[in-house]
Amino acid sequence: MTATNIRGYLELMKLRIGFLIALSAMAGYAAVATHVSGTQLLVLFIAMLLGSSGSAVFNQFYDRDLDRLMPRTARRPLAAGTLDAGHALWFAAGLLITGLLIALLAFNWIVAIHLFLGAFVYGIVYTVWLKRRHWTNIIIGGAAGSFAVLGGAAAVDSSLWLLPAFMAVTLFLWTPSHFWSLAIMIKDDYAKAGVPMLPVVHGNAVTSKWILANTVALVISALLPALFGQLGILYAVVSTAFGLRFLWLNWLLVKDPSRELAKRNFLFSMQYLAGVFLAVVIDKHVPLSVFGL
């Protein structure tokens, strides 16, 4: 295998998304663990990364016809024809099966089921069933990431479900605000390919209002762990601060639904999720005395 082929297969894996999914699983693990094992976290990270990458490769296999129509994706390996589609499909299956086996053997069948469900929602429910049919595709497809949080928690104790469930809801609601901001930025590409993303179907102004409404629900959901006594004051303060900043950027986008402000929302959405999940970990494992409280 040539270096070009290796780079091509790595590109198919969408490693940035895979890292986000794997880190979400690690956050779910840390949310319920009383003792954090570095070895277990590493194995969980690898299993989730492989499973997510398998579904990402399948996504590019199935969407290679659409990718050829969009300048942003036309040079992807399968769209450009630099890799064989059949080989890529086997590669996707190998990644997913390896991830599932690691999850099953290193942890338990519940972790493996959550990994499979996340891959199934992204690869089949979103990519095959919804993406080309209706603008609500990303709302339902957002459940893919939520399974990673639940799987990470199940690696510790599947009976400790309340806090991971709250985190899964937060991740589910985060996805539309994040992705619709990106969709505004690349609306022309989606329109050219005939993909019915929300900005294509209803325009930027309507999309920005949907983003704001969704983020209101997101910020409220992120406060539920504190309201139900699962997390403390530190988490509540950090979550609220990040939430208010995100809402402010959303409001600016409503007033001016431009690509520039959509990009600001898109970039901050990743900071928001990282900040909220990091606050979960700190609240659970770092005593307030460290902060002089």
pLDDT in tens, 143-155: 888 999 999 999 9
Over 70: is that where the pLDDT of 80 sits? yes
Q: What is the mean pLDDT of the chain?
A: 93
Give residue 6's pLDDT. Answer: 86
In contact, 183 and 160? CB cutoff 8 Å: no
In sequence order, which residues have a C-beta less than 8 Å from that of residue 271 and are 6 or more positions away?
A: 242
In sequence order, which residues have a C-beta less than 8 Å from that of residue 29 and are 6 or more positions away?
A: 36, 40, 41, 44, 152, 153, 155, 156
- Residue 100 CA from chain centroid, whole number: 19
Band (141; pLDDT cuts 50, 70, 90): confident
Over 90: is that where the pLDDT of 168 sits? yes
Band (292; pLDDT cuts 50, 70, 90): low
Band (253; pLDDT cuts 50, 70, 90): very high
Give the residue with greater pLDDT, 77 vs 4: 77
In sequence order, which residues have a C-beta less than 8 Å from that of residue 292 and are 6 or more positions away?
A: none
Residue 139's H or E segment, with its range, is: helix 137-141
Per-residue b or e along 171-201, where b marks 16 or more CB atoms closer than 10 Å to that residue's CB = bbbbbbbbbbbbbbbbbebbeebebbbbbbe
- Provide the whole-model pTM: 0.91
d(CA 19, CA 26): 10
* Range list of β-strands (E), the chain: none
d(CA 83, CA 126): 24
What domains appear along the chain, each with residue ranges and CATH number?
161-288 (1.20.120)
Give residue 287's pLDDT. Answer: 65
d(CA 278, CA 103): 23
Average pLDDT of span 13-36: 92
* Range list of β-strands (E), 215-277: none
Give residue 1's pLDDT. Answer: 64
Band (291; pLDDT cuts 50, 70, 90): low
How does DSSP classify residue 43?
Answer: H
